[in-house]
Amino acid sequence: MLQFFAKYKFFAVVLFVLSAIIISIIYSILKPDRKLPVYEPEMVNTELVDSTVQYVRKYHKIADFKLTNQNGEEVTQDHYQDKIYVADFFFTTCQTICPIMTGHMKEIQDRLIDDNEVLLLSHSVTPKIDSVARLKKYAVKKGVIDTKWNLVTGDKKQIYDLARKSYLAAKSDGDGGPYDMVHTENFVLVDKQKRIRGFYDGTNPEDINRLIEDIAILKKEEE
């Protein structure tokens, strides 16, 4: 019996290897490519969504906007036409989570610097304080590349509406002010059709890696 197995040992090993390769190929063929969800308002924590859109179940897209960037240039949705982009909300005087978030946005910028399909967009939640000059100073300090990343200021109501009605990413302050919000750590991934495809904790390095991976998945989906 031992002589029999010794005689056919080589063939058994070859058969095992071939079987493993065949099983791996079949698995890769049958395994569907992972796709990112399309987030609708009803899928998101109601604390982050304005009551006027909380129950929307389909066709949600980022609304048109007109803001001003760190160079005093008008930025509209046309700037992000046919682009994937990552959006967040910050303010230059923040000493808590903003420096971490900005550092992570800088990391995304640097890791995707040669990818012309991906841009970044950071909205100031204190636009009266964050003038163009202040944004420019902040941008230079943080290593922002103008062609890749816009820091924008503008009408506070418009920014508030974008955060709560479009990006579904910020809580209301609850202090009675009509256009005040609690700052959010959310990074929001937006596809070329202006749809939300992911939310990420901008203070969490693991989420930043997941965001980079999801951008690659989204790019493959949109080929």
Question: Cβ(105)–Cβ(113) under 8 Å?
Answer: no
The larger pLDDT score, comparing residue 31 to residue 147, is at 147
Q: Calculate mean pLDDT across residues 108-126.
A: 97
Comparison of pLDDT for 192 and 4, the residue scoring more? 192
Residue 113 tokens, joined: 């610097």
Residue 25's pLDDT is what? 53
Copy the structure tokens of residue 208.
Answer: 């930043």
Q: Tell me what the pLDDT averaged over the chain comes to.
A: 87
Q: If you average pLDDT over residues 27-41, what whole number do you get?
A: 75
Q: Tell me the residue length of the chain.
A: 223
- Mean pLDDT lowest among 18-27, 55-64, 179-188: 18-27
Q: Answer with the residue of higher pLDDT: 9 or 132.
A: 132
User: Percentage of the chain surpassing pLDDT 90?
Assistant: 75
Q: Which fold is adopted by the domain 41-221? A: Glutaredoxin (3.40.30)
DSSP letter at 141? H
Reported as half-sphere exposure (CB side, CA atoms, 13 A), residue 149 has a value of 27
pLDDT at residue 220 tops 60: yes
Is the pLDDT at 44 greater than 80? The verdict is yes
Q: How many CA atoms lie within 13 A of 153 on its CB side?
A: 18
**Around Cβ 22, how many Cβ atoms within 10 Å?**
10
- In this prediction, residues 145-154 reach a mean pLDDT of 98
From CA 5, how far away is CA 45, in angstroms rounded? 62
- What pLDDT, in 10s, does the model give residues 179-194? 566 678 999 999 999 9
| Residues 84-102: tens digit of each pLDDT | 999 999 999 999 999 999 9
* Percentage of residues in the chain having pLDDT higher than 70: 81
Q: For residues 182 and 201, which has the higher predicted lDDT (pLDDT)?
A: 201
Q: Specify the pLDDT at position 34.
A: 79
Number of neighbouring beta carbons within 10 Å of residue 41: 22
Better-scored residue on pLDDT, 133 or 27: 133
pLDDT of residue 194: 98
Q: What is the mean pLDDT of residues 152-168?
A: 94
For the chain, the domains span 1-31, 41-221
Residue in 206, 205, 183 with CA at minimum distance from that of residue 96? 183
Instruction: Identify the band that residue 27 occupies on the pLDDT scale cut at 50, 70 and 90.
Output: very low
pTM comes to: 0.83
